[in-house]
Structure 1
Amino acid sequence: MIAQAVAKPDAKPARPWFSAGPTAKRPGWSLAGLPTNLLGRGIRAPEVVERFAYGLRLTREVLSPPEDYVLLYTPGSDTGAVEAALWGMLGERSVQVVAYENFGQVWATDVRDHLKLEPEVLTAPWGELPDMSRVDPSKDVVFPWNGTTSGVRVDNADWISDDREGLTICDATSAAFAMDLPWDKLDVTTFSFQKALGGEAGIGVMVLSPRAVARLDTYRPERSIPKVLRLTDKKGFDRTLADGVVINTYSILTIEDWIDALEWAKGAGGLPELIRRTERNYAALAEWVERTEWVAMLPDRPEIRSTTSVCLKFTDPRVAALDEAGQKAFVKRFKALLEDEGAVFDMEPHRYAPPGLRLWCGCTVETADVVDATPWLEWAFATAVSELSA
């Protein structure tokens, strides 16, 4: 097969940021637009606590979980939020972990090797979901709603029993604000500022159902829990966390950035519009994939394809013939070609994922930029393949 030359495109995306985290800032964002009057104030100052509480109220308003669900911040982004749930809640019941991408595998390792529990791990190859009917309602289950590193998402919550005895602990960091989450099925839901709304990194959010709060009130693991993961006081769940009090010192500038993102989301039309923006972006990229011979979606089944962290695989035989090291080198060259032109940034897959492409299509990305990126992907592919043949 002879490589066909592709002319370098004229137009570039106005905002060429397609990283899966941190993701693109919201349209119109500027650092100068963030309030700075509380910078340098103590983290326990009443005005600062109220500002953090306002951020939680806005988060609730945009996401619309049930009124009796509790929201709080955690250190360490989504990772810290998931770890806080694992360390503080697991051990009362048997545990299952759904691991169909990198982070599910990380949670399985944590539960097994660090908490010293014996989880049943439900796995699947990259681009697939495990058989979710195997989830046991008598057990606690830990699972990602959307696999940021695999481009796979859970397509429904029918497998979660309404009469479950265990807790459902859902890593929703690349699903929140982009997908419609079934709150009645979720007991612990976690996400981070820097995913779907393009916030700054370092702070995570937990959304706890009454069942999750009851677990914290009544269950005391025998293990020691580090302070940054500790959600309880002497009486049980530390309810001050739901009022804007934070576990340790957080960046006030980061919370101002989060509030800015939430106010934009609210003004744009709230969660329904955020989902529509995401789906429009995904549809634009999917239409290009459908008519492009050398690339395909990593997940074969359309119903489980992520609309945010869209993962693609190479189907061209010249690339497929390369070993894994060769394919990774091809991706590295592909990335360099695009970034040297300032056309598309951070389109490479997660380091443990199969070699290919990954483009974030969440709500802070503009559809026009997705469309303008695709000719650059074609140019970079043709250029990199011609170098293979040289």
Structure 2
Amino acid sequence: MADFSVAAMPAARPQNPNFSSGPCAKRPGFTLDALSGAALGRSHRAKGPKAKLAEVITLSKQILGMPEGWRLGIVPGSDTGAVEMALWSMLGARPVDVLAHESFSEAWATDVVKQLKLADARVIKADYGQLPDVAAIDFSHDVVLAWNGTTSGVRFPNGDFIPDDREGLVIADSTSAAFAMELPWGKLDVVTWSWQKVLGGEGGHGMLALSPRAVERLLTYKPAWPLPKIFRLTSGGKLSEGIFVGETINTPSMLCVEDALDGLRWAQGAGGLPGLIARSEGNLAAIAGWVDGNERVKFLAQRPETRSCTSICLVIAAPWFVKLDAEAQAKAAKAVAALLEKEKVALDAGAYRDAPPGLRIWGGATVETSDIRLLLPWIDYAIDAVSTEF
């Protein structure tokens, strides 16, 4: 039973209760009318539809401030497809260090060690809430990492640990970082993301950005294993340049393309990258101010400078909760998330299935800070209400 009085049920609810970490909330003011110009029923290879695909690439590069010489393509399979293309196409040329500190970076480690079976691969691990020891990285190796841990709410605060004169490539899964955080392009060689995160697009399409060094690897190295068509970035010893101007490997959804364009145009009107970062950081700041001094919750990220401003992960710290065993904690955390969903104040806000029990609140740029502020007292209420059941 609770050893403190239960907080009163708040009177106000968020305007938009969508706090899922993917697919994420649509941009403010979105309606289906925004998709009325979609090239439905058309070939994606026709002039008009291909121009829309090319515009997604151009606007993305402009908003992100991608350096000259980088190539950006739309690829199948969301961020997962983009990361897999990079791993299967480029690794094996030299030893590999994989940084694993949450579910998806753990998956990349599994790919490298158990699927590609690279004998000279090292996995540098950290528990949820922490970053791997960057001092242990050998940058004569290729390096694979997740810039922002979507399931842990932990991000790299900067790229200072990556040397400019590195020998290997740095492959950065940036799906919940792109458009919400400054990415140190000069420190990275492959950057991936998907449409359904910070700009609230629809799922299924990934973005693959390659530095000149990454392109050189593709042109000078041939993996020992066969590559399926959907992973091939070269043909006849040359880069498949069409991928980077809108000629996709497989058929994209032109409805999703129109939606991606809508999100990108909204991003321009929201102040471009600085404006998007400010919106995301504002959401983190609102939650941080509430967590400070709150006995019910704390951040999963153990160091403030590593707290994500998009996938904001919280653990329950109420005295009644920490006394429970692991099984009961998992049930209690799910009950808190279920109550928030029942009250229609936060949908899909439970922690990722492999993460410690708690909540995960998406704070990307499409989420209004006013909705974050209205959600927070509901979390207090839900934790207190669930305490009476344990």
TM-score, normalised to structure 2, is 0.98
Could you tell me how far apart the structure 1 residues matched to 2:6 and 2:102 are?
A: 36
Q: Report the CA distance between 1:260 and its aligned residue.
A: 0.3
Q: Report the CA distance between 1:33 and its aligned residue.
A: 1.6
2:202 maps to 1:200:
yes
Could you tell me how far apart the structure 2 residues matched to 1:280 and 1:249 are?
A: 38
Could you tell me which residue of structure 1 aligns to residue 99 of structure 2? 98
Query: Is residue 180–residue 198 contact of structure 2 (8 Å, CA) maintained in 1?
Result: yes
Q: Report the CA distance between 1:324 and its aligned residue.
A: 2.2
Per-residue CA shift, 1:174-221, capped at 9, x if unaligned? 110000111011100000000111100000001110000111111111
Could you tell me how far apart the structure 2 residues matched to 1:178 and 1:214 are?
A: 29
Pick which of 275-284 and 117-126 moved more. 117-126
Query: Is residue 135–residue 159 contact of structure 1 (8 Å, CA) maintained in 2?
Result: no
Per-residue CA shift, 1:343-367, capped at 9, x if unaligned? 1111111100000111011110000
Which amino acid is the alignment partner of residue 165 of structure 2?
D
Could you tell me which residue of structure 2 aligns to residue 367 of structure 1? 369
Query: Is residue 157–residue 185 contact of structure 1 (8 Å, CA) maintained in 2?
Result: yes
Which amino acid is the alignment partner of residue 62 of structure 2?
E
Per-residue CA shift, 1:268-314, capped at 9, x if unaligned? 11000000001111000111111311111112211111111111112
Q: 1:247 aligns with which of 236, 239, 249?
A: 249
Could you tell me which residue of structure 2 aligns to residue 175 of structure 1? 177
Could you tell me how far apart the structure 1 residues matched to 2:46 and 2:237 are?
A: 24
2:130 maps to 1:125:
no
2:143 maps to 1:148:
no
Could you tell me which residue of structure 1 aligns to residue 45 of structure 2? 44
Could you tell me which residue of structure 1 aligns to residue 295 of structure 2? 293
Two-structure CA RMSD over aligned residues (Å) = 1.1
Query: Is residue 337–residue 359 contact of structure 2 (8 Å, CA) maintained in 1?
Result: no
2:59 maps to 1:30:
no
2:226 maps to 1:224:
yes
Per-residue CA shift, 1:6-58, capped at 9, x if unaligned? 21111000011111111110001111221345101112112111110011001
SS of the equivalent of 2:191 reads: strand
Could you tell me how far apart the structure 1 residues matched to 2:380 and 2:259 are?
A: 35
Could you tell me which residue of structure 2 aligns to residue 305 of structure 1? 307
SS of the equivalent of 2:388 reads: helix
Query: Is residue 38–residue 255 contact of structure 2 (8 Å, CA) maintained in 1?
Result: no
Per-residue CA shift, 1:107-146, capped at 9, x if unaligned? 0000111111131001111111111022112110000110
Could you tell me which residue of structure 1 aligns to residue 332 of structure 2? 330
Could you tell me how far apart the structure 2 residues matched to 1:108 and 1:329 are?
A: 29
Pick which of 244-253 and 129-138 moved more. 129-138
SS of the equivalent of 1:273 reads: helix
Query: Is residue 193–residue 258 contact of structure 1 (8 Å, CA) maintained in 2?
Result: yes
Q: Report the CA distance between 1:3 and its aligned residue.
A: 3.7
Could you tell me how far apart the structure 2 residues matched to 1:162 and 1:30 are?
A: 44
Per-residue CA shift, 1:238-261, capped at 9, x if unaligned? 111111000101100001100000
Could you tell me how far apart the structure 2 residues matched to 1:172 and 1:71 are?
A: 14
2:216 maps to 1:214:
yes
Q: Report the CA distance between 1:325 and its aligned residue.
A: 2.0
C-alpha distance 371-37 of structure 1, shift in aligned 2 (>3 A): closer
Equivalences for residues 70-81 of structure 1 within 5 A: 70-81=71-82
Could you tell me how far apart the structure 1 residues matched to 2:329 and 2:317 are?
A: 12
Could you tell me how far apart the structure 2 residues matched to 1:372 and 1:275 are?
A: 21
- Give me the identity figure in percent: 51
Could you tell me how far apart the structure 2 residues matched to 1:163 and 1:255 are?
A: 37
Query: Is residue 218–residue 236 contact of structure 1 (8 Å, CA) maintained in 2?
Result: no
**Structure 1: gaps spanning 5 or more residues:** none
Per-residue CA shift, 1:81-118, capped at 9, x if unaligned? 00000000000010010001111110000011111113
**Structure 2: gaps spanning 5 or more residues:** none
C-alpha distance 37-29 of structure 1, shift in aligned 2 (>3 A): closer
Number of aligned pairs? 388
Query: Is residue 38–residue 254 contact of structure 2 (8 Å, CA) maintained in 1?
Result: no
Could you tell me how far apart the structure 2 residues matched to 1:127 and 1:195 are?
A: 21
Could you tell me which residue of structure 2 aligns to residue 66 of structure 1? 67
TM-score, normalised to structure 1, is 0.98
Which amino acid is the alignment partner of residue 65 of structure 1?
M
SS of the equivalent of 2:61 reads: helix
Query: Is residue 190–residue 208 contact of structure 2 (8 Å, CA) maintained in 1?
Result: yes
SS of the equivalent of 1:71 reads: strand
